[in-house]
Chain A
């Protein structure tokens, strides 16, 4: 065999190494060799040599990789005295200097390093906390990553955040962080030792939410929120929680998939898996954002309430890497109140004692709102959690004020869907990593393939990143808008949302809130086109889960109808009608059905639309039959249903039926003005068509007056958004258009 041919064959085998499956490899060889049988044979030979080589190298090592084995041998050698460097012996290090800092005493030991109290002399005299990072971490990168965030970290100024002052390295290259010294104890310990009751614990928690919010607004995600990172210190007799270690998790964690960082990420992971969010547990390099912190806050709250974490730390650690991830990604945690059931009597007594409440009382305290608040923050899907730390804190505050909270138990449909839904996590590559981690690094083949894979992942990650960045940007803007809204700065909030493209808006209940508010605000400003935009953005944000929309949310959504007409965009209005018909086609909720019908029939509709409405018609008819005027005396939603039906009959041309339904509607008490008005107008139109001009005129007059009073300057000028009892602006606007239509032919 000529040298050239051998080289060619080598080239072919080498290039095919990237393929994982033998099928792909064979296919590649076939293509590369085409008809050359000898070449193909050589390729096979070379491949066998290569795999033999791999096998042999593997066989040469006992349990550990050669390097690891060598280290073990080195360490075991007995002819060696205990000449351990002072730097490793933490006791000997006390009193020595690291940079400008003099170490005074050791105050803690963490997952990634040791913490000391230190004193600085120049340029300023102060005491600080110094965290020396464990060895094995790539110093230059740790410091570089820290520096990247340093600007933002420096801007943080919040009473509940311990500032990280700087990141440096020792002479021998070990990185360390200098932080504001916080003399305090772990929050969970503090609460238990001082017997803080549930209210007091929640009050501390709300402060922590404020701190995290502050950081998020500076663009900093903590990534490692857990009790040991929240110390409670006393200031003037008042307990103050302080969040520490900002910026450190990111700097030391890193996202590059090299052996070193994987290992340290593994260490961190193994350190406190109970607090890791599902997306962090995936370790796929996926963009871990502020909502990951929200999850960790949820775990913290859980622990403050029950002294347990949703998943037991030891259980997680003992179950192996794969199972650990599976649990965090897929298993539903118990509600806090339910978790108490699993405790032994003594444990329950202790837990209750620490919260100054009697054992049976604790469960009832947690049952209900607190349960749902916690569970909302622990949702696997980060879009379903609280989107901001402030949002989280405010819900807790609402609970304390005895106001209704936003968190709700999931609907039956959603729960069913969750059972059926399976997470699409790829465990293949993760499993490979875990095997290697446990078996010890050093198998060169494994490293070879790992690098290839890492490179491929990096490429696709880069593509996804631009998309992710746009999404993250939109999300950040929405968060900020929510904050501005809470401060009543509607104009500011609206301005932020101007540039968000609709497809980029991720579904989330909180985003829906923002768009709803701003949609309404724009209506009061007379900016109808913008209002329409906001509502369409709201539509996007509401993709969260159809089954979960409340009546209010449905109404908000459908309110786009009148807005689009006022904005003059009839084409969009008609599209919108089709979209909503499609979306609510299968609804079994008569309230939603009524809104859909009403909003779809503001203008005359075509046959297909009417046909699509038929199932809703049946639904409404049976609802009205079951809920007559006597039964629905105090219900202000039911009476809209016969109105919707009369409007439907009108659009179909069944004028006598219109009268029937119209009369039925008037039989109900609770005369919401726009509803009554609309009935009059629809009756007017029907009478006119039925050639009863006198009746028509009477009805029209009854309908016209209230509308002229309410909308003196036409539908473009909405000053008051209205309430359910006086009528929402949506309904007044619809009434207006119906009046306008009636006036064209009723004399």
Chain B
């Protein structure tokens, strides 16, 4: 039983701190794999987030401990890691662009080309944070689908729900998010 398995075990048992520990472990493994992958393969290849996360999963957790519950936590942590990387990056670029403190962008700006994808990502992130409070089930699905690129089938497997549920939640989540973004602007 290695380090990460112990942490997963703790998470399963409801240990709140363990979840915090899980994140950096997953993060560093993802980073190691990403570097190795970029080093080996030529620039022309497209990057597959699912494959990388899957690989990290296989490398870090051995056969005996690959329960679906552990997998669910692992993948959730991976998705969270990826989200944070993106948000950090987006914030940095936004600061560079708009200079200094967080500016609230309004809805009219959204339509203009001046608003970069990164800015929109930040708006999405705010909406997502709210979703985590108001509708955690939807949020889980958004995380796995949007940030990790899992298929509906894979999401269903990971969360232990039916594929049609995944489809339906994803459908509703998209509506929810855009409504929230527009509402807060």
Footprint of B on A, CB under 8 Å? 10, 14, 17, 46, 49-50, 52-54, 56-57, 59-62, 64-75, 77, 80, 82-85, 88, 135-136, 139, 171-173, 258-260, 263, 437-442, 444, 447-448, 451
Contacts and interface: CB of A to CB of B under 8 A. Distances in A.
A442 B149 contact: yes
A14 B164 CA distance: 11
Interface string B41-53: 0000011111110
B55 interface: yes
B9 interface: no
A74 B34 contact: yes
A57 B36 contact: no
Nearest to B176: A53
B62 interface: yes
Interface residues of B, number: 53
A67 B170 CA distance: 17
A75 B55 contact: no
Contacts of B171: 14, 17, 50
A56 B35 contact: no
B179 interface: yes
Contacts of A69: 86
B175 A441 contact: no
Interface stretch (B15-23, B98-106, B118-126, B129-137): B118-126
Contact of A80 (B31, B146, B148, B152): B31
Nearest 9 CB-CB pairings of A with B: A67-B49, A53-B174, A173-B58, A70-B82, A136-B51, A74-B34, A68-B47, A75-B38, A53-B178
Contacts of A263: 46, 48, 51
Interface of B: 30-32, 34-40, 46-52, 55, 58-59, 62, 81-83, 85-86, 89, 117-118, 120-121, 124, 145-149, 151-153, 167-168, 170-179, 181
Contacts of A46: 175
B35, B36, B38, most chain A CB atoms within 10 A: B35
B35 A80 contact: yes
Nearest to B81: A70
Contact of B146 (A17, A171, A444): A444
Given A77-B31, A444-B146, A451-B153, A71 B118 contact: no
B168 to A, nearest CB: 6
Contacts of B62: 171
A171 B59 CA distance: 8
Interface SS of chain B: helix, strand, loop or mixed?
helix
A44 to B, nearest CB: 13
A68 B146 CA distance: 11
Given A60-B120, A65-B149, A70-B85, A54 B174 contact: yes
A448 B30 contact: no
Contacts of A88: 36, 39-40
A181 B96 CA distance: 58
Nearest to B173: A53
Nearest to B30: A74
A56 B153 contact: no
Contacts of A66: 49, 82-83, 86, 121, 146-147, 149
Given A60-B121, A73-B85, A135 B179 contact: no
A442 to B, nearest CB: 4
Contacts of A444: 145-146, 170, 174
Given A71-B52, A448-B170, A64 B86 contact: no
B55 A74 contact: no
A439 B167 CA distance: 23
Contact of B55 (A80, A135, A440): A135
Contacts of B170: 444, 448
Contact of B31 (A50, A56, A74, A439): A74
Given A49-B178, A57-B146, A442-B149, A64 B124 contact: no
Given A14-B171, A59-B117, A173-B58, 20 more contacts: A53-B173, A53-B176, A57-B146, A60-B121, A60-B124, A64-B46, A70-B82, A70-B147, A71-B52, A74-B31, A75-B38, A84-B32, A84-B36, A136-B48, A172-B58, A263-B48, A441-B50, A442-B146, A444-B170, A447-B152
Contact of B85 (A10, A74, A135, A260): A74
24 contacts: A10-B172, A50-B175, A53-B175, A57-B174, A60-B117, A66-B49, A67-B47, A67-B49, A68-B46, A70-B49, A70-B81, A70-B82, A70-B147, A71-B49, A71-B52, A72-B47, A74-B85, A75-B34, A82-B35, A85-B36, A136-B51, A173-B58, A258-B153, A447-B152
A335 to B, nearest CB: 34
B46 A438 contact: yes
A707 B176 CA distance: 93
Contacts of A61: 117, 121
Contact of A260 (B51, B83, B172, B181): B51
A64 B38 CA distance: 15
A66 B125 CA distance: 12
A136 B121 contact: no
Contacts of B40: 88
A62 B116 CA distance: 8
A163 to B, nearest CB: 28
A136 B40 CA distance: 13
A49 B175 contact: yes
A72 B172 CA distance: 30
Contacts of B117: 59-62
Nearest to A88: B36
B139 to A, nearest CB: 14
Contact of A67 (B147, B153, B172, B176): B147
Given A67-B49, A72-B47, A448-B170, A259 B151 contact: yes
Contacts of B153: 258, 451
B50 A84 contact: no
A88 to B, nearest CB: 4
A441 B177 contact: no
Contacts of A49: 175, 178-179
A56 B149 contact: no
Contacts of A441: 46, 48-50, 149
Contacts of A56: 120, 124, 177-178, 181
Nearest to A90: B40
Nearest to A77: B31
B34, B81, B168, most chain A CB atoms within 10 A: B34
